[in-house]
Amino acid sequence: MSNSTNSSAGSNGTITLPPSLDLPSHLSAQKYFFVCTLTVAAWDVLVLTPRTWRLMRSKGWPLLKLIYYFLRIYTPAEFTIVGIAFFDTTWSLERCSKFYLFEPICTAILLAITSFVHVYRVHAIYEKNRSILYGMGSLYALQIIVTAICCGFYRYTPLLPGQGCIAEPKQNWVGIYWLSVSLLYSASLFLAIRRSYQSYQSKAVNLWKLMLRDGLNLYMAIWLVNMVNMFFWFIITPTGPDDPIRTIVTSMAAVLTSSMTMRIILNVRGGLANGGRYNAVSKTSNVRSAGTIRSQRAQGTGTNPVLSIQQVQQGATYTVPLGTESKSNDWQGEDGKSSVVGAEKGDIYTIEPVVPDGDNGVKITIDTETHMVDSFPQEK
C-alpha cells in the first residue's frame, strides 16, 4: 500500500493521521471553540458597521469615541494573529517559544482598555461620585498590576509539530489574571443594577425597557462569560502538561468583553463627553399646570428677562433668554404715544394671541422688569 504525506497505513491496515489532524479530545474541542471565537469577532464587525459609521459622523472626538474605534480595530487584529499561530501547521516549537506571550500580553492590554470604559462609565452614571471613582479605580489598579505580573508566568503548551501554538499558565494560581478582571466586572454589574434600581424607585417603568435602556444585558453578558472562564481556570482539571483546557474560553471571554463594551459605549444617549450621562436623565424644562393666561408680578431684582411659552394641553414650559435687558422706555404704540404710560414698576405685560374658539393654542407670556419714571410728559 502506498504512503502519502497526509496518511499512512500500517501492517494491520489502520490509517495513521499526522499530528495536525490526530488531535486529543480537549485540543480538538479548543480548536473548534476558537473557530467560534473568530466567527463572533467577524460577525461583530459586520453587525456594528452601520452604527460605527453613524458614530464616525457625530461631532467631536471624546475619549469614549476614541476607545470605541481603537477596540474596533484592535480586537479582530489580535485574534486574527492568534488564530494564524493556532491553526498554522508549519509553526515549530522553537517559533512558538518566541511568540506564545503575544496573546496574554495583548489580551491584558485589551482588558485594561475595556475595564477603563466600565470605570469611566459607572463613574459618569453616578454623577461623578468620588466614592464610586475610588472604589472602581482601586479594582482597576489591582487588575493592571495582577495581569502584568501574571504574564510572566505563562508558557507555551508542549504540543506536537503541526498542532499549533497555545499559551497556558505554568501554575494554577495564574488564574488570578482573570480573577482580577472578574472582580471589576462584578462591581460594574452591581453598580449598574443599583443605579437602575434607584431610577426604578423614583419612576416605575417596564423592567424589560429598563434593562435595555441602561444596558444591563450588556453588563450581564460580560459578567457571565468571565464567570464561565473562571470555571475552566479553577475547576476543570487538565489531563496532562500538553492539555490546554484551562484556556479554552479565554479568547471567547476577551472577544465578548470587547464586543459588549463597545455596545455599552453605543448605548449612551446624548454626547459621550465625560463618560456621557445616565440614560434616564434628560434636560427638560420646568413643567407647569396653569391653564389660563394671567399677569404675574416680577419678583427680585437684577434678573434677566425671559420669555415663557406655555402650551396648556401638554403643560410644558420652555424658557428662552432674550439677551441683554433693554434700558429704553420708549416702546411706542401706533398712535405715537408710549404704550407703558401709567404703568407701575414691576408690572408684567401679556401678549394674548388670537386663538380660534375651541383651540387652546399656545400662550405666550413676556415676563420682564420695567424701570420707569414717576410720570411722562403729556401731549399738548
User: Cα–Cα distances in Å, from 238 out to 66, 73, 370?
Assistant: 40, 34, 85
What does the CA dihedral 59, 64, 65, 68 come to, rounded to 10 degrees? -160
The predicted pLDDT at position 149 comes to 95
**CATH code for the domain in which residue 191 is found:** 1.20.1070.10
Indicate the residue among 275, 297, 313 that finishes a domain.
Answer: 275
Are residues 176 and 42 part of one domain?
Answer: yes
Nine-digit cell string for 353: 394671541
In the chain, what percentage of residues exceed pLDDT 90?
A: 43
> Strand, coil or helix: what is 5?
coil
Indicate the residue among 275, 305, 327 that finishes a domain.
Answer: 275
Residue 113 domain-assigned (yes or no)? yes
Are residues 375 and 350 part of one domain?
Answer: yes
Residue 57 domain-assigned (yes or no)? yes
Are residues 108 and 240 part of one domain?
Answer: yes
The predicted pLDDT at position 259 comes to 95
Residue 255 domain-assigned (yes or no)? yes
**Alpha carbon distance, N-terminus to C-terminus of the chain:** 132
The predicted pLDDT at position 288 comes to 41
Residue 342 domain-assigned (yes or no)? yes
State the alpha helices, DSSP H only, in 88-152: 93-99, 102-125, 130-150
Closest Cα to residue 163, out of 238, 98, 88?
88
Are residues 234 and 377 part of one domain?
Answer: no
Are residues 243 and 305 part of one domain?
Answer: no
Nine-digit cell string for 21: 489532524
Is this structure's pTM higher than 0.85? no
Polymer length of the chain: 380
Closest Cα to residue 115, out of 39, 43, 178?
178
Per-residue HEC secondary structure of 262-273 comes to HHHHHCCCCCCH
Phi-psi region of 39 (alpha: psi -120 to 50; beta: other; left: phi over 0): alpha
What is the spatial distance between Cα 202 and Cα 307, in angstroms, rounded to a whole number?
Answer: 31
What is the spatial distance between Cα 250 and Cα 107, in angstroms, rounded to a whole number?
Answer: 9
What is the spatial distance between Cα 115 and Cα 142, in angstroms, rounded to a whole number?
Answer: 11
Residue 317 domain-assigned (yes or no)? yes
Query: What pLDDT, in 10s, does the model give residues 85-126?
Result: 999 888 888 888 889 999 999 999 999 999 999 999 999 999
The predicted pLDDT at position 124 comes to 93
Are residues 297 and 268 part of one domain?
Answer: no
Closest Cα to residue 261, out of 207, 176, 208, 184?
184
Residue 124 domain-assigned (yes or no)? yes
Are residues 290 and 380 part of one domain?
Answer: yes
Are residues 298 and 257 part of one domain?
Answer: no
Are residues 298 and 203 part of one domain?
Answer: no
The predicted pLDDT at position 143 comes to 96
What does the DSSP assignment read for 263-300?
HHHHT--S--GGG---TT------B----S-------S
Closest Cα to residue 264, out of 201, 213, 322?
213
Indicate the residue among 216, 244, 275 that finishes a domain.
Answer: 275
| Cβ within 8 Å of residue 220, ≥6 positions away | 189
Are residues 293 and 221 part of one domain?
Answer: no
Which portions of the chain are predicted below pLDDT 70?
Answer: 1-13, 281-380
> Strand, coil or helix: what is 90?
coil
Q: How many domains does the chain have?
A: 2
Residue 6 domain-assigned (yes or no)? no
H/E run at residue 74: helix 63-87
Are residues 126 and 29 part of one domain?
Answer: yes
User: Cα–Cα distances in Å, from 90 out to 86, 161, 166, 331, 378?
Assistant: 10, 7, 14, 90, 106
User: Any bridge partners for residue 46, and if so which?
Assistant: none
Residue 5 domain-assigned (yes or no)? no
Which residue range(s) make up the domain with 294? 284-380
Are residues 292 and 230 part of one domain?
Answer: no
